[in-house]
Structure 1
Amino acid sequence: MQVFQQVIQWFVDLGASVMLPIIFLVFGLILRIKPGKAFKSALTIGIGFIGLNLVIGLLTDNLGPAAEAMVNNYNLSLQTIDVGWPAASAIAYGTLLGSMAIIVGILVNVVLLLFGLTKTLNVDIWNFWHIAFTGSIVYAATASFALGIFTMITHSMLLYFMADKSAIYVQEYYQLPNMSFPHGSSTPGFLLALPLNWAFDRIPGLNKINISPELVQKRFGVFGDTTVLGFIIGIIIGLLAGYDVNNTLNLGVATGAVMLLMPRMVALLMEGLTPISEAASSWVQKRFPGKELYIGMDSALAVGQSSVLSASLLLVPIALLLAVILPGNTVLPLGDLATIPFMICLMAAVFKGDIFRTVIGGALYIVTTLYVASWAAPLITKSAIASNFDLGGNSSISVLSDGGAWTTILFSGLGITWLGIGFIFVVVLFALIYQSKIKGSKKIES
């Protein structure tokens, strides 16, 4: 068992840009795609992920210092530092329990597929760190290894349920056929967006507002172009950060570059995914007529969409403002400000790309994440110490994305006992069974 875990860990350490091509090459060969075509598709997927990571790195490298400058410029001081998802994943995988998350996630996926309780075949293996994160927090709070494993099982079931539930939005809005996002940072926002969208539709005046990228470009011409809009938003952030003219202009060009390059990297990734996705769909239809199979992917496929990026950049100063004015909040957002596109991408799909609704909904979501992340800070700090994570001199750390998701308080707050996690397990299991009985997919209302 230990040897198997070491092999899995070695595989994960290869990184998504190497690991995913290997998975898709094997998957393509199983689906009887010609070896040459399967290899080229798999390699293109890897190159696409490298491109995505480069662009996300460009955003992070420029947005991070700007956020820190805003913090210093306005003398913001909060006792808990948001260390971001890279640190969270290191904390999650840094314990023995966390290292077992990949095995747990795969086994749960296989069992649910065999019993017809999910349509999602999750190939996004690296992102099993999300369930490792909640499992590690529960373990830190209870010292029960078994309860930590049970938490990871239950959380993975919940992610597959929400991936299936949100798949129609992923496929129709983002034009990603046969795909879903079993992503721990994205699906929590999806469930919040559903009631918010219902409420927005019923608020007089607000239900008449619809600010889409297409409308902005039509009304403002060149100034509504997504690249130009990214440049303008970058300039605004630079001014709020107190940058000089040189650094402000550089930040503007960098954010404009992100708006231009991100969709092109996603398109490159889709070029590699399309042949395999089509082959998988044909294979399922041939052997299981009437059945659907979704390929579970990283929500990075959606973060390049113009509504998502525009709303995310606008939410950066809003997140910092909220952190200061909300009574009882102790978390200073920093590390995960560049992760906001992942947090709101499914919200944007529910809002059909309406930037106004996405910003309002995203701001409300950030309010909840700040409070949950503040509450979870002691447990996250304890988990970090247990995984030998370097706190960098900070006495209290948290994570805005996963640490602030409602799933964190669900598992480590309301369900911190065997009875609590067991109750959540039963509810999720019945939800999966009920969802599996529903025939066909409902289309998004236009």
Structure 2
Amino acid sequence: MLFLLEFVNHFFNAFGATVVVPIMIFIIALCLRVPLKTAVRSGLYAGVGLTGFSWIISEFTPVVTKIIRQMVNNSGIHLPVVDIGWQAGSLASFGSSVGLTFFVFGLLAEFLLFAVGITKVFMPSNLWNNFGFMIWGTVAYYVTKNYWLSLGLSFFMLLYSLLLAEIQADSWSRYYKVNNATVCAPHNIVQTVPAIILDPLWNFLGLNKVNFTPRSLQQHLGILGEPTALGAILGLIIGILGNLTRLGSYHAWGQILQFAVQLSAVMTIFPLVTNVFAKAFTPLAKNIDQRRRQAAGDTAAPDPINDRKRWFLAVDDGVGYGESATIISGMILIPIMVALAFILPGNRTLPVVDLISLPFMVESIVALTNGNILKVIANGIVWFSIGLYCSSWSAAMYTGALQHYGAVIPAGIVLVTSFNLMARPLNALVFAAFISQNPFLIGSCIVVYLVLLVALRRYRPQIWHYLRRMADANVGTVAVRNGHHD
């Protein structure tokens, strides 16, 4: 059994996401009876898009990380728990028996959950993000030595991640303009919770009346409001913050101006790559719509809100990374989270490497607020601040698991974390319940999930209508400008 699990791991590592995901898309297309030529094209577009995402982010990450490290060093403050990035956690999760078991059987569970209708999100199309479930089970196994409990934790996190993904699916698909698609990365989808819960508070404070969207910036600032120029301006500001102590040096200004151009390039090029990746799903979306029309016995497609048979492909969250409101919000949050790490009382976590992931981490918030950048930042400040305390609490357990399962920890660092993986309030709460091994706490988590699942299955159209109204209440949306809902 262990040999089989290791073989599967080596197989996927050998071919990589840019090969396996296109194959999955090709198979899904054939299952939907898409013509062979179109199915091949969809698979190739998926591979090209993923490769483009990988190239851009792999080049951009070390540049941003260097600026962030300078920002941190300039402060002169040191915290004991250092964010070394999600990659170490991914490695450790594939090194544990719990992680490998979930990687194989979790994939089968995702097929089964979709087939029987427990979820309307087809997760296997984005199987590469399964390590986000695996790492929590891996850490739980290190702490409790209870194999089945830890594996159960990973599966339970899959269940509620799919639930949240379906809740925000219509909003994500609508905002990012990828029909019948959504994101379901376990380490990012939980941001759906603060986006929904805190929205009435932000409206009470008047944030919905502030027209702070990419469209409004372009209208008011002209050429300076275009994504290319905004990237340069934002890059200039972040570059200066990373070089405050040496602004008299021409080397510093060389780095500042280079970063401004680099961020401008990302905001210009990323949407082009996204358009290529989206082409992989266009024929699938059309096929799904055709089937819905046939099922309705009408030439017109059923209302997507009220169509209970509507389902979604889980896509890589790189699709939304370069969208203007998403990357602007994420970049603005970088210096904010560094500052908050220093001033929050009792916080022990220093976010560094994973701050580049902030645009990924805010996608659900962006979609649910219709690109209201001020709300995205407000939600991020609240949720990720709580997350800093979560990663501070779990740091010793996470560090121990990484060391036990072979991940390399940089010399001179005692405690490590991943801001992207571990600074997750909802995930941390469920993790705490499971490692307590208290039947009442674990049972409470399951009961809450079942109640929400029944509510979603019964009231999904009403939930989606509410979320559309919530999004359209923000000044600057299509609905507000034109006086009707789009």
TM-score scaled by length of structure 2: 0.87
Provide Cα deviations, 1:274-295, integer angstroms capped at 9, x if missing partner: 1123224545665798512211
The match for 1:115 is 116
C-alpha displacement at 1:21, in angstroms?
0.6
C-alpha displacement at 1:233, in angstroms?
1.0
Alpha carbons 2:383, 2:425 under 8 Å: kept: no
Residues 1:188 and 2:190 aligned together: yes
Distance 1:281 1:139, change over 3 A: farther
Q: Secondary structure at the match of 1:415?
A: helix
After TM superposition, the structure 1 stretch with the greater mean CA deviation from structure 2, 215-224 or 53-62, is 53-62
Distance 1:88 1:260, change over 3 A: same
Q: Could you tell me which of 427, 441, 447 is aligned with 1:408?
A: 427
The match for 2:76 is 75
C-alpha displacement at 1:232, in angstroms?
1.0
Give me the whole-angstrom Cα distance separating, in 2, the residues matched to 1:337 and 1:207: 26
Alpha carbons 1:81, 1:398 under 8 Å: kept: yes
The match for 2:45 is 44
Give me the whole-angstrom Cα distance separating, in 2, the residues matched to 1:433 and 1:82: 38
**Unaligned 5+ residue runs, structure 2?**
244-250, 298-306, 473-486
Provide Cα deviations, 1:84-111, integer angstroms capped at 9, x if missing partner: 1222211222211111222332233233
Give me the whole-angstrom Cα distance separating, in 1, the residues matched to 2:163 and 2:315: 14
In the TM superposition, what are the counterparts of 1:311-326 in structure 2 within 5 Å?
Answer: 311-326=329-344
The match for 1:426 is 447
Give me the whole-angstrom Cα distance separating, in 2, the residues matched to 1:178 and 1:42: 17
The match for 2:402 is 384
Residues 1:164 and 2:142 aligned together: no
C-alpha displacement at 1:140, in angstroms?
1.6
Q: Secondary structure at the match of 1:438?
A: helix
Give me the whole-angstrom Cα distance separating, in 1, the residues matched to 2:208 and 2:43: 44
Amino acid at match of 2:445: I
Please, what is the CA RMSD of the aligned residues? 1.9
How many corresponding residue pairs? Answer: 445
Residues 1:104 and 2:105 aligned together: yes
Q: Could you tell me which of 369, 381, 386 is aligned with 1:363?
A: 381
Distance 1:219 1:201, change over 3 A: same
Provide Cα deviations, 1:212-255, integer angstroms capped at 9, x if missing partner: 11111111111111111111111111111116111111000000
Q: Secondary structure at the match of 1:201?
A: helix
C-alpha displacement at 1:418, in angstroms?
5.3
**Unaligned 5+ residue runs, structure 1?**
none
Give me the whole-angstrom Cα distance separating, in 2, the residues matched to 1:273 and 1:411: 34
After TM superposition, the structure 1 stretch with the greater mean CA deviation from structure 2, 248-257 or 32-41, is 32-41
The match for 2:480 is none
Alpha carbons 1:189, 1:344 under 8 Å: kept: yes
Alpha carbons 1:284, 1:293 under 8 Å: kept: no
Give me the whole-angstrom Cα distance separating, in 2, the residues matched to 1:284 and 1:215: 36
After TM superposition, the structure 1 stretch with the greater mean CA deviation from structure 2, 308-317 or 9-18, is 9-18
The match for 2:481 is none
Alpha carbons 1:51, 1:265 under 8 Å: kept: yes
Q: Secondary structure at the match of 2:353?
A: coil
TM-score scaled by length of structure 1: 0.95
The match for 1:275 is 283
Give me the whole-angstrom Cα distance separating, in 1, the residues matched to 2:296 and 2:287: 14
Distance 1:439 1:235, change over 3 A: closer
Give me the whole-angstrom Cα distance separating, in 1, the residues matched to 2:294 and 2:111: 20
The match for 1:226 is 227
C-alpha displacement at 1:439, in angstroms?
5.5
Alpha carbons 1:116, 1:436 under 8 Å: kept: no
Distance 1:269 1:211, change over 3 A: same
Amino acid at match of 1:126: W
Alpha carbons 2:183, 2:317 under 8 Å: kept: yes
The match for 1:148 is 150
Residues 1:29 and 2:47 aligned together: no
Q: Secondary structure at the match of 1:78?
A: coil
Amino acid at match of 1:398: T
Distance 1:23 1:284, change over 3 A: farther
Residues 1:16 and 2:20 aligned together: no
Q: Secondary structure at the match of 1:336?
A: helix
Distance 1:183 1:5, change over 3 A: same
Alpha carbons 2:9, 2:94 under 8 Å: kept: no
C-alpha displacement at 1:351, in angstroms?
1.6
Amino acid at match of 1:413: A
C-alpha displacement at 1:425, in angstroms?
2.5
Give me the whole-angstrom Cα distance separating, in 2, the residues matched to 1:272 and 1:49: 11
Runs of 4+ in 1 over 6 A off after TM superposition: none
C-alpha displacement at 1:390, in angstroms?
0.9
Q: Could you tell me which of 390, 403, 407 is aligned with 1:372?
A: 390
Give me the whole-angstrom Cα distance separating, in 2, the residues matched to 1:287 and 1:149: 39
Give me the whole-angstrom Cα distance separating, in 2, the residues matched to 1:220 and 1:180: 32
Amino acid at match of 1:229: L
Give me the whole-angstrom Cα distance separating, in 2, the residues matched to 1:324 and 1:187: 26
Give me the whole-angstrom Cα distance separating, in 1, the residues matched to 2:332 and 2:6: 42
The match for 1:331 is 349
